[in-house]
């Protein structure tokens, strides 16, 4: 029963009245022209109310393009859209001088010369930096030479000093030692070398204390010939630092040295 009553109520609400006039929506006047809309059955009932919406048929942009305030396309965009091999200079914001203007030659030469001078200076600085980077530092140069006081060395004794990380033997020879070194026949030596070639002053013998076999440090005042003896492999050196016996192939090396004074030696 409730369903039948609800259906009858809804049909009476949706059914339009024949005696009442149906309002019509018009646009642009009350003449009911072509812009008027058809009747809506929901407008007669207060429960159904829809707001009306109007539409414009004309364009909002102006018809006269000459009076439009929209800016034209810029020259740069136009050139990108339409590329051309012809070069056109924009002289609106920049003044353009003809090529080779005499009034601007001095300024152009000054700019070009100044730029080249700056480039040359930078290149010179880079070359100097590169060359100086290859030279030895001050601490290395300080260790390159060594001064030794010879006044404290007694005749017939050997003193060991350190030079460039290597031991250096300084021997003060007696007259008998010098006579013995000169009496050796060169033909019997493995590395023939006269004693006078190995010394600047016969009293002083300066050699690097590294064995020429495998880099060991020989013992001074030892061996079969009164010079140095390497206990590692049995190499014997005489009083002039020449190899006399054992596997060592060469004599002890003589470093670069000079006598600054009678009792002062400079090695290196």
What are the CA-CA distances from residue 44 to residues 11, 14, 32, 154, 257 (Å)? 15, 10, 19, 141, 129
Residues 6+ apart with CB under 8 A from 59: none
What is the 8-class DSSP label of residue 65?
G
For residue 138, the Cα-to-chain-centroid distance in whole angstroms is 26
201: CB partners within 8 A, 6+ apart: 259
Ramachandran quadrant class, 63 (left: phi over 0; alpha: psi -120 to 50; beta: rest): alpha
Rg of the chain, C-alpha, whole Å: 57
Active site residue 92: no
Set 45, 49, 213, 233: catalytic member: 233
How many Å apart are CA 46 and CA 44, to the nearest integer?
Answer: 7
Q: In what order do the strands lie in the sheet with 228-230?
A: 219-220, 228-230, 235-237, 243-245
Give Cβ neighbours of residue 149 (< 8 Å, ≥ 6 apart). Answer: 263, 264, 265
CB 241 within 8 A of CB 227: yes
User: In angstroms, how far is CA 154 from the centroid of its own chain?
Assistant: 58
Residue 155 · residue 205 · CB < 8 Å: no
Q: Which long-range contacts (CB under 8 A, 24 or more apart) does 104-110 make?
A: none
- Active-site residues, by number, are 233
């Amino acid at each position: 029963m409730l369903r039948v009553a609800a259906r009858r109520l809804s049909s009476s609400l949706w059914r339009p009245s024949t005696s009442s006039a149906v309002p019509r929506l018009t646009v642009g006047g009350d003449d009911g022209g072509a812009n008027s809309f058809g009747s809506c059955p929901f407008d007669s009932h207060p429960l159904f109310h829809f707001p009306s919406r109007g539409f414009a048929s004309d364009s909002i942009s102006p018809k006269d393009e000459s009076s439009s305030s929209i800016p034209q396309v810029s020259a740069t965009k136009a050139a990108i859209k339409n590329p051309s091999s012809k070069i056109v200079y924009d002289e609106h914001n920049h003044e353009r001088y003809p090529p080779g203007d005499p009034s601007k030659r001095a300024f152009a030469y000054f700019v070009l010369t100044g730029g080249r001078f700056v480039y040359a200076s930078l290149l010179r600085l880079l070359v100097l930096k590169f060359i100086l980077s290859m030279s030895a530092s001050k601490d290395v140069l300080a260790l390159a030479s060594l001064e030794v006081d010879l006044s404290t060395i007694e005749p017939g004794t050997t003193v060991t000093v350190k030079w460039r990380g290597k031991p250096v033997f300084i021997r003060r020879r007696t007259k008998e030692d010098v006579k013995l070194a000169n009496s050796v026949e060169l033909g019997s030596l493995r590395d023939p070398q006269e004693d006078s070639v190995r010394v600047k002053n016969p009293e002083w013998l300066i050699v690097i204390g590294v064995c020429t076999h495998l880099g060991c440090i020989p013992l001074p005042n030892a061996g079969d010939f009164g010079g140095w003896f390497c206990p590692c492999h049995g190499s014997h050196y005489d009083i002039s630092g020449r190899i006399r016996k054992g596997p060592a192939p060469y004599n002890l090396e003589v470093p670069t040295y000079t006598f600054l004074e009678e009792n002062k030696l400079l090695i290196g």
